[in-house]
Amino acid sequence: MNFRPRPKEEPEINLIPFIDVLLVILIFLMLSTTYSKFTEMQIRLPTADVQALRDYPKELLVSVTSDGDYRVNQQPVSGRSVADLAAAMQNSARAGKDSVVIIHADASARHQAVITVMEAARRAGLSQITFATQSADAP
């Protein structure tokens, strides 16, 4: 019988599986994380110098309030449908089909309300459309 003491082996920690697991976790976290700064869209709306309002006969002023009400040349439109708005625009267009539609939309007006004005202008046969803006330093 061999009763001599055996040399004791030092226990070793194998780091390779540990590193593999950490890399897999790191890859998983990188793929599943959303970065909110990259998903935001930065939009700068256009500004322009405001000139004094002119009363040209070719201009057709259409105002859109924040509530979604419409006014054509400062006259309220009785209804919010495209057909009502198109009829009011056609009746108020002094220059006929050569009239320029100027859309004055409130900053808090819904996007659909502005699209309704553009559709009504198309139905009324008015193809020249522009948007009114205010200068950046105006209140």
pLDDT value of position 138: 55
pLDDT value of position 33: 79
Instruction: Report how far residue 121's alpha carbon sits from residue 78's, in angstroms, rounded to the nearest whole number.
Output: 17
Report the predicted TM-score, pTM, of the whole model to 2 decimal places.
0.57
Domain range summary for the chain, segments of one domain joined by +:
59-131
Which CATH topology does 59-131 take?
Nucleotidyltransferase; domain 5 (3.30.420)
pLDDT value of position 70: 92
| CA of residue 78 relative to chain centroid, distance | 29
Instruction: Report how far residue 55's alpha carbon sits from residue 87's, in angstroms, rounded to the nearest whole number.
Output: 21
pLDDT value of position 5: 75
pLDDT value of position 51: 57
103 near 131, Cβ under 8 Å?
Answer: yes
Note down pLDDT in tens along the chain; length 139 residues.
677 777 777 778 888 999 999 999 999 988 887 665 555 556 566 666 555 555 566 888 898 988 888 999 888 888 888 999 999 988 888 778 888 899 988 888 888 989 999 999 999 999 889 888 776 665 5
pLDDT value of position 26: 93
Distances (CA, A) of 51 to 21, 54, 59, 102, 134: 66, 8, 14, 14, 9
pLDDT value of position 22: 94
